[in-house]
Structure 1
């Protein structure tokens, strides 16, 4: 994977769990009130994030092939460009991770 910025360990764990289709391990990467912003639709907390993932992410057998990594302004966020595959959306997407105290508080998915 070409990278300009090293990934925080929790982001590596997020990507590994998603590619392994391991929902429980994937959810453990989030803070208790962690959220997913899926192209403007925001889901907060483990129950809502799990329901979304079951229907549209891990449940759709997502694959994430990281092609680029960059730090956000002031290194507050890390953005991963990935080629998404699986039984749902297929194509490139940006995943911007906000990490707090070693866990993901927000992942924003955009074009």
Structure 2
């Protein structure tokens, strides 16, 4: 089945009051559990940018590491969920559920099919 990346940008949840984050966590974990129960969840999680590590780095083809932000980079990703679903419409349904739970819009992208990598 096709695999889809559902993601949102870093900062997309900045509008949520601090006191609402426990509820956001609860509802987003419920969606993840629902996806697991449905057998479509492959991976998911939020990315940390506040733990003292470099928030972004780029490794060039020459092996040189440039600590970010990198000028040509797109927006940083704030969180992801990867689902294995039969159709784009199914991916959009999961994205809608996580958008409500996380209180922010979600980006949907389909992974290219590679028979050597997908079981």
TM-score when normalising by structure 1: 0.28
TM-score when scaled to structure 2?
Answer: 0.27
More strand by share: 1
- Which has more radius of gyration? 2
Higher relative contact order, structure no. (Cα contacts within 8 Å, ≥ 6 residues apart): 2
